[in-house]
Amino acid sequence: MEETYKLVFSDFHMGGGSRLPDGTTNYLENFFFDREYIELIESYSTGPWAKKKVEIILNGDFFEHLEVIPGEADPDMMTERVAIERQRQIISGHQEVFDAFKRFNRLSGHKITFNLGNHDAGLLWPGVHEVLKEEIGGDVQVLTVPYEFNGVRVEHGHRYQADSAFNEDRYFLKKGLVEPIINLPWGCYFVVHYVNKVRKERPYFARVYPMRYFYRWAFIHEPWFALKNLAKILYYFISLRFIHSKRRHSSFWRTLQLVKEAAIDSNLDKAAKKILLTNPGVRILIFGHSHGCRYRYFGPDKLYVNSGTWTERISLDPANMGRLVRLTYILIEIDHHGRASASLKEWLGNSGPIRDIQHA
């Protein structure tokens, strides 16, 4: 068996670009490391890598399909037509990245795989698959289920948190609608109807964590802002659970799960441990979703790795205070016996010391 290599990235939340058509700032854009990412892609496309079997796995939330350009009417009504248009806007906003994908995929033995996350829900539509395949060319696949190979399982991780999980028995809503729409998870509605509206005045808002620390700070320094926004959150929660809408469908059980998760610090370690210890065929489990890179063993030959995010995070945790950007990814190596190993990497780039500031 020929040795193969797989690069796993997640949670770029790539939107319509940093600038709107009129030249003003797109406050909804999350991804500002196009140059660094292109350099990484090209480093695995040249020299000895050009002749190796290499696959790029974009493991969920690589795109931000929920709202690409400010001011969209009914952004939560994600029909196939809307999802295709948003995907084209994302490609236009990051055209040089997609050009690098094209060059990568022209090489023999190279492949690109997209895996579903909760923010790139448009990947549920076949029309979006066709746009990506036509734009990139070569061997491109789009998955909506966990990707398993050689004792490795790769999935985004949203399925294990109540606010981010789709109803997998009812991905689409049709009743009373002119066109079918995606039955988005509750957290997606929260992003569209609350978070993105706050970002218009406070672009940093979506990057702050833990959010409870931010609200403690706000109650002291900006009490009116804190009270007003907590009231909005409460209204959002009540309206989503008790006001009927043909745009969404969920259950009372899901509501209880949301309340439970809101009351505790939730991460994916518990879900990862359960999957690894109850699935004998899975030696390596890879998630994204949490935006925090992880490399942890849960037993002999039972490894959990999280690829982290390439978006900026603003930590209010005293143990890790400040702005944080780590350009992390996972390298999976499969030897000629078919045995896989995984390592967590950080791209330090080969650019000069100067960078254009896209947001401040």
Q: How many structural domains are present in the chain?
A: 1
Q: What is the pLDDT of residues 236-269, one digit of tens each?
A: 777 766 655 555 555 555 555 555 554 444 579 9
Residue-level pLDDT at 264: 46
Place of tokens 């009914």: 74
Q: What is the pLDDT of residues 281-305, one digit of tens each?
A: 999 999 999 999 999 999 999 999 9
Residue 165 main-chain phi, psi, to 5 deg: -80, 135
Residue 247 falls within a domain, yes or no?
Answer: no
Residue 256 falls within a domain, yes or no?
Answer: no
**338 has pLDDT over 90:** yes
Range of the domain at 23: 4-184+267-346
**133 has pLDDT over 60:** yes
Mean pLDDT of 9-22: 94
Residue-level pLDDT at 356: 56
For residues 309 and 288, is the Cβ–Cβ distance under 8 A?
yes
Residue-level pLDDT at 349: 81
Q: Over pLDDT 70: what percentage of the chain?
A: 89
Residue 225, CB-side half-sphere exposure with 13 Å CA sphere: 13
Residues in the chain: 360
Residue 249 falls within a domain, yes or no?
Answer: no
Q: How confident is the model at residue 360 (pLDDT cuts 50, 70, 90)?
A: very low
**214 has pLDDT over 90:** no
Residue 167 falls within a domain, yes or no?
Answer: yes
Mean pLDDT of 326-351: 93
Cβ-count burial 264-301 (b if 16+ within 10 Å, e if not): eebbbeebbbebbeeeeebbbbbbbbbbbbbeeeeeee
The H helix count followed by the E strand count for the chain is 10, 16
Residue 253 falls within a domain, yes or no?
Answer: no
Least confident among 10-24, 221-235, 346-360 = 346-360
Which residue would you say has higher pLDDT here, 315 or 339?
Answer: 339
96 CB-near residues (< 8 Å, 6+ apart): 34, 38
Residue-level pLDDT at 1: 75
DSSP letter assigned to residue 283: S
CATH at 104: 3.60.21
Residue-level pLDDT at 49: 95
Q: What is the pLDDT of residues 175-211, one digit of tens each?
A: 889 999 999 998 898 888 888 888 888 888 888 877 7
Residue 57 falls within a domain, yes or no?
Answer: yes
Mean pLDDT of 92-102: 98
Residue 352 falls within a domain, yes or no?
Answer: no
DSSP result, 181-215? EE---HHHHHIIIIIHHHHTT-TTGGGEESHHHHH
Residue 257 falls within a domain, yes or no?
Answer: no
